[in-house]
Structures are given as C-alpha cells and as structure tokens.
Amino acid sequence: MIDVDSDVYAKLTAVRRVWAIGAVHGDATRLKNLHHEISARTARGDRFVYLGNLIGHGSEIVETLDEVLRFRRAMFTPGMEPEDFVYLRGSQEEMWTKLLQIQFAPNPPEVLEWMIEQGVEATLMAYGGRTDEARSLMGEGAVAITRWTNALRTSIQRRPGHDELLNSVKRAAFTENGKVLLVHAGLDPHRPLSQQGDTLWWGSGYFSAIDSAYGEVKMIVRGYDRRHEGLAMTQWTATVDAGCGFDGRLAAACFLPDGSATEWIEV
C-alpha cells in the first residue's frame, strides 16, 4: 500500500471508478462540454480527479474554476464526501503559488520572465494583474512587490471558492487499494512517492521510461504531456492529454480500481 501524508496526497476510498480529467489550461468551454458528457455516464461510487493545470495559457481561467465548482455541486449526492473530488497540483498551480510569493525570490525579474514564458500570464490577467505592471515592480523591492501580490490574493478571494480550490490541490492521488496512482506530469520510478518533489509536475521525461510496476501500483495516470498526443497507454501507464489549451481537445479517461480503463472522452 502507498504510505504518504494524507494532507498532501489524496486517497480515494470506496471507489467504483475514477474519472481522470486531463489538463484544462483555462478552456472553460471544453470543460463544460466534458462535464456534460461525464455527467451522463456516472454512477454511485465514481470519483473525480483533475490532473492539474486547470489554470494557465487559456483565456477563461475564472470561468474554468467556476465550472469546476459548479460541477462538484451538481454531482455531489448523498453518501459522497468532499474528498471524492480531487484537484492535483500541476505546473501552472505551482507557478501561481510561487508568483504570489515572488517577493521572497532572490531574483524576482528573472523568475517572473520565466513564469510568463511558461504560461502564467493568462492567470495573472484573469485576476486583474498586468505583465507590464509586474515587470516594473520587480525591481522596486520586497515591500512594493508584497503590496502587489496581496492585491492579487484579494482578487482571488473575491471569487467565491477560488482561493479554497487553489489551496486544496494535492501532489498526487491514489485508490485505497494502491493499484491506481494519478499524477500531473511525471514520476521517477526509482523513488518512493513521498520523495518525488517537483518531479510530479516538472519531471515528465521520467514517465516514458516506466516499464514495470511501481510497487503495488498497476496503472499510473498522468494528465499533462508536452507532446499533447491524446490517449497513450502502456501496460503500466496512461497519459490523458489531447492538447487542451494548445488548440487541442480536452480529454478524460475512466479507470476501474484494478487499473483497467473503461471509457475515454475527448471534446
């Protein structure tokens, strides 16, 4: 069995099936269509895992988080727990967290430029920020930057549920039988889950090298691949990324607790 801190990782209990939803990248329109397809196919005991990068790149960041919250309300039925809906930390959520703490970085201008190159600008704009303003502030010292990041935090808090959702993200999720493990982008097969660190959202290169069972895990599922090639499955891994946010489609797959895939949706 997987043995990790439950405050950082999510354990899915009483699972019938797990719906794994790939990176959305701020495309609320496709997410609404995907939710419509999923809602017509769900049954009691289904669990839902969003595999990171809800935000970033796309122009509908606010609408995307609103849609995630709406879907959770709509699907929440008697007997379900809040923990049955899991949101993983992706590279975009990780960058957003770091952006809100950028006053502590040793080189804020360089860090900001790297984040912008990686797609954080869309999320910044969604919550009222501007890149020109951010760039001008990065050289003004920690006090000025702190005022700016505090204003961003206030903007997030004005959107009901957004702050709570972004603060609830988990490093990874797994079924209670330990057979299905869900991650954002990467996993080093030579290290235990508790020692993966940033590999979970930045180490996608490790994923293609997985050619055997990861302990008791029978299927490792990820939701982001830089190549965005859609469903890619091996005996031990599954990638659920059809390029949403990069002119591609939004994908989701459904897995049984033994790791076998039962459904695949692209919208």
User: Are 77 and 16 in the same domain?
Assistant: yes
The structural domain count of the chain equals 2
CA dihedral 45, 79, 37, 86 (to 10 degrees): -80
What is the band of 103 on the pLDDT scale with cuts at 50, 70, 90? very high
The pLDDT of residue 208 is 86
Give yes or no for residue 60 having a pLDDT over 70.
Answer: yes
Give yes or no for residue 240 having a pLDDT over 90.
Answer: yes
- Mean pLDDT value across residues 31-60: 96
The pLDDT of residue 1 is 54
Domain assignment of residue 46, yes or no: yes
User: Are 191 and 152 in the same domain?
Assistant: no
User: Are 253 and 175 in the same domain?
Assistant: yes
User: Are 38 and 106 in the same domain?
Assistant: no
- Structural domain ending residue among the three candidates 137, 157, 177: 157
Q: How many other C-beta atoms can be found within 10 angstroms of the C-beta atom of residue 103?
A: 18
The pLDDT of residue 7 is 82
The pLDDT of residue 174 is 96
Cβ within 8 Å of residue 34, ≥6 positions away:
21, 250, 252, 265, 267
User: Are 185 and 258 in the same domain?
Assistant: yes
Q: Which two tokens stand for residue 181?
A: 């493990």
* pLDDT tens, residue by residue, 174-194: 999 999 999 999 999 999 999
Domain assignment of residue 3, yes or no: no
Q: Which helix (H) or strand (E) holds 26?
A: none
The pLDDT of residue 204 is 86
Give yes or no for residue 150 having a pLDDT over 80.
Answer: yes
What is the band of 80 on the pLDDT scale with cuts at 50, 70, 90? confident
**Domain coverage including residue 260:** 10-90+169-266
User: Are 80 and 176 in the same domain?
Assistant: yes
User: Are 218 and 144 in the same domain?
Assistant: no
Domain assignment of residue 222, yes or no: yes
Give yes or no for residue 6 having a pLDDT over 90.
Answer: no
3-state secondary structure of 198: coil
Please state, for a pLDDT cut of 90, what percent of the chain lies above it: 89
**CA-CA-CA-CA torsion sign (190, 192, 195, 198):** positive
Q: How many other C-beta atoms can be found within 10 angstroms of the C-beta atom of residue 41?
A: 14
Q: Which helix (H) or strand (E) holds 7?
A: none
The pLDDT of residue 230 is 82
User: Are 187 and 74 in the same domain?
Assistant: yes
Beta-bridge mates of residue 48: 19, 85
User: Are 60 and 125 in the same domain?
Assistant: no
Domain assignment of residue 1, yes or no: no
The pLDDT of residue 136 is 95
- Structural domain ending residue among the three candidates 107, 128, 157: 157
* pLDDT tens, residue by residue, 192-217: 999 999 999 998 888 988 999 999 99
Q: Which two tokens stand for residue 199?
A: 């590999």
User: Are 22 and 75 in the same domain?
Assistant: yes
